[in-house]
Structure 1
Amino acid sequence: MSDLIFFLGGGYRPKVLEFACGTGANLLFFHSIGFEVYGIDSSESAIDRCVNRSGFSKENFSAKNILSECRICDIFPGIKFDLIICLSALSYFNNEDIFLLNKQFSEVLREDGIIYTNMYTTLREWPLEKSDNGLYIAMDSGSVNEVTYLNLIEDKNEIQMLYDSMFETIAIKRTIMEGLRGDNESVHYIGRKLT
């Protein structure tokens, strides 16, 4: 995170937008270091929990599907963000939708704004099966045994290809998280909006 803060620079209160913010855990950190925080999530109850637990302004949050209901620029008109973060959520979208999301992210980022995302890779300790739609099938080990479709990437080059048309790569980093269900790997991407 310190790299993100370093790259942003500036002597004013920067604005951060988290796509798929959930209950706002990441935004609490950015708020604590002086960022003005905004969030979008498709779950109204997650947004409510985020606002209630943190005291964030409700006007800075929206429970909308920005692929089907509206655009980010309509939710937050006239606002340009210094940083957009999207952690783990893009693995639930196909490449076409990721391209559409990146277009919207680029539209609302200020000139030289930063994007920070990550996606899961195929390196994991439970079996995966590729479906007809190109996504991977992963069984949720929770009590309902739901099937989840994931867009998993093979390597760093694959995530870079998703962003190259709109962002200049600053850093790409692989990480492995050890968990109760086994290890899983993700690739983190930091990029700057192309001008």
Structure 2
Amino acid sequence: MNSKQIQETFGNIDIYLFDQLLKGTYDGCKTVLDAGCGTGRNLLYFLKNGVQVYGVDQDPEAIAQLKKLAIAFPHLNPEENFSVASVEQLPFANESFDLVVSSAVLHFAANQEHFEAMLTSIWRVIKPGGYFFCRLASEIGIESLVHFIGNGRYILPDGSERFLVNQEMLVRLTKKLGAELHEPIKTTNVQNRRAMTTWCVRK
């Protein structure tokens, strides 16, 4: 498979989500939600494999683009599966999904309360035994380079403002949710400008 074929199969997928696919972690997942899906960059592989894929985002234009993309996949209904909604108020029943993906979303939380509201909403819709893949900004490895401005938010060395987590917080939240880490917490340090952490848990 050449690079063009890889791109056609997986699109512009989060490399750490790709890692979980390579490991077969989500092979049995038949219902997948991307919470904060944007235009669906993490959904192409699932769409092509007949998975019932759902997505929510607060950007109407992004959802419109995703619906157009999904027309090519007759196993689902784009109008029903993709909607404009907030992560903290997901429009789905409890225990609906085998996997929820949240890539570069939760670090936009306005404060600790907002972060926990989004996390609680996501956890509610995951089936027992289901998975949560989360990638978000953290202070791990750049603790001395970030500036705390209150309510869990920081100024990063690259000048952006984010809600940041750390390893202690993620371990505590894993226990609070009654979850288990099925993969060690991993962090990528981008040349001391920002750090992105991958948090993979099972319900």
User: If the length of structure 2 is used for normalisation, what is the TM-score?
Assistant: 0.72
Corresponding residue number in structure 2 for 1:164: 175
Higher strand proportion (structure 1 or 2): 1
Gaps of 5+ in 2: 1-17
Structure-1 separation of matches of 2:138 and 2:119 = 19
Letter in 1 for 2:152: G
Alignment RMSD (CA, Å): 3.0
The answer (yes or no) to whether the contact 2:99–2:132 under 8 Å persists in 1 is yes
Q: Which residue of 1 aligns with 2:37?
A: 21
Q: CA deviation at 1:88?
A: 1.3
Please state whether the residue corresponding to 2:176 is helix, strand or coil.
coil
CA gap of 1:176–1:24, structure 2 versus 1, over 3 A, is same
How many residue pairs get matched? 177
Residues 108 and 28 of structure 1: CA distance in aligned 2, closer, same or farther (over 3 Å): same
Q: Structure 2: how far apart are the matches of 1:116 and 1:78?
A: 18
Bigger drift between 31-40 and 157-166 goes to 157-166
Deviation at 1:139, TM superposition (A): 8.3
Q: CA deviation at 1:138?
A: 4.5
Give the counterpart of 1:7 among 22, 25, 50: 25
Percent of residue pairs bearing the same amino acid type: 25
- 2:79 is the counterpart of 1:62: no
Which residue of the partner structure matches residue 149 of structure 2? 131
DSSP 3-state at the match of 1:172: coil
Match of 2:101 in 1: 85
When normalised by structure 1's length, the TM-score is: 0.75
Does the residue aligned with 2:61 lie in a helix, a strand or coil?
A: helix
Shift of 1:26: 0.2
* 1:164 partner SS: helix
Q: Report the secondary structure of 1:26's partner residue.
A: coil
